[in-house]
Amino acid sequence: MSGGDISSALKCRKVVGLKQVLRALAEDGLLSVITADDADKKVLERVLPLATAKQVPVQSVPSKAELGRAAGIEVSAAVVGILK
């Protein structure tokens, strides 16, 4: 996913972080999930199966730092969800 695509997707309503993304997935509230390639394996192991089960598309970016910047936060982010 290119930087421009990420930035435009993240201008929508979003949730940032594992707990918020898992909650939104469980409530069928996400259009898509964006993960960082360097995210902790345990984070990905929790998010990816649920996203697949809910048929929510998953995209990735190279780093947590890049995802955090694109999400408009001052820290890195392992996972972001785009809300419906």
The domain locations on the chain are: 3-83
Cβ pair 26, 50 in contact under 8 A = yes
Beta strands 79-83; 14-16: pairing state: antiparallel
Q: Is the pLDDT of residue 1 over 50?
A: no
Ramachandran assignment for 72, one of left (phi > 0), alpha (psi -120 to 50 degrees), beta (any other): left
Q: Is the pLDDT of residue 69 over 60?
A: yes
Q: Is the pLDDT of residue 14 over 60?
A: yes
Q: Is the pLDDT of residue 29 over 60?
A: yes
Assigned CATH topology for domain 3-83: 60s Ribosomal Protein L30; Chain: A; (3.30.1330)
Average pLDDT over residues 64-72: 93
Specify the pTM.
0.89
Q: Is the pLDDT of residue 2 over 70?
A: no
Residues above pLDDT 90, as percent of the chain: 83
Q: How far apart are CA 46 and CA 31, in angstroms?
A: 18
